[in-house]
Amino acid sequence: MQDTVFPHGHPGRAFAAAGAVILLAVTSGSAAQTQPLATGQSPVRVVVVGDSLSTGHGTSPQQAWPALMRTDPQVAGLEVVNAAEDGSGYLSPGDFGGTFGTEVDDFVTANTGVVVFFGSENDLGYAPADIGDAALAAMDRAAALAPAAKIIVVGPPSYTAIPDPGLVDISDQLKAAARQAGGEFVDPIAEGWISDDFDDLIGPDGDHPTVLGQHYLLEHIGAHLEQAAPAAAAGKGRPEAQ
């Protein structure tokens, strides 16, 4: 099946949202890793909100980690909608003018089971408090559009052992927003994503993942989706905010 890529955030995105949806359906699975959905049960719809780390920039859309979920048994039983846009962030407008907030508006629907926010270093330079406010607004909007959805918030990664203080500020703001929105926060900085294998995982531009790097992101983000998908399929919804 050939994947279709729409220019998210483009003035014509209303056509994309109304006329078609990017469905990257995962059809294979492993009972040892993920329990299959019950007979007749619809796949869990996952919307990926993100930036160029999720679009396949530097490789191709078909090699981006959301697309790779089509054939990965770790996260079987999902329909993945990749809403990511190059250059976007919670405040930063992307190549077509979109932000994480507009990605939510354009692609999160009532039947969405999981919303994954990933990034973004593109928000460097904005006031941390403003980033936090925009992040909380985007998460709350996702919860309003899909009340039963599990929200997973992945902060921006750092490629060095000593991260940019601005990235740490963004991560702290996202952690607080995720907690307030009742979502799960994943901290790539604290977990040391990519920094131990930069040469293999990041391409010549020094910023975007190689194909191996995209598989790395799938492995790490997919581990959280593996836990979230069964709960979403069972309709358990989001935990209450702490």
Give the residue numbers annotated as catalytic, written as ranges. 52, 205, 208
d(CA 185, CA 100): 16
Q: Is the Cβ–Cβ distance between 89 and 102 less than 8 Å?
A: no
Return d(Cα 214, Cα 191) in angstroms, integer.
Answer: 17
Residue 120: is the preceding peptide bond cis (ω within 30°)?
A: yes
For residue 102, the SS3 value is helix
Q: Where are the beta strands (DSSP E) in 83-229?
A: 112-118, 150-154, 184-186
Q: What are phi and psi of 38, to 5 degrees?
A: -65, 150
Both tokens assigned to 167? 């990235």
For residue 28, is the peptide bond before it cis, meaning its omega torsion is within 30 degrees of 0? no
Would strands 24-25 and 184-186 be described as parallel, antiparallel, or unpaired?
Answer: unpaired
Distance CA 194, CA 179 (A): 25
Q: What is the DSSP annotation of 149-181?
A: -EEEEE----SSSS--HHHHHHHHHHHHHHHHH
d(CA 218, CA 178): 21
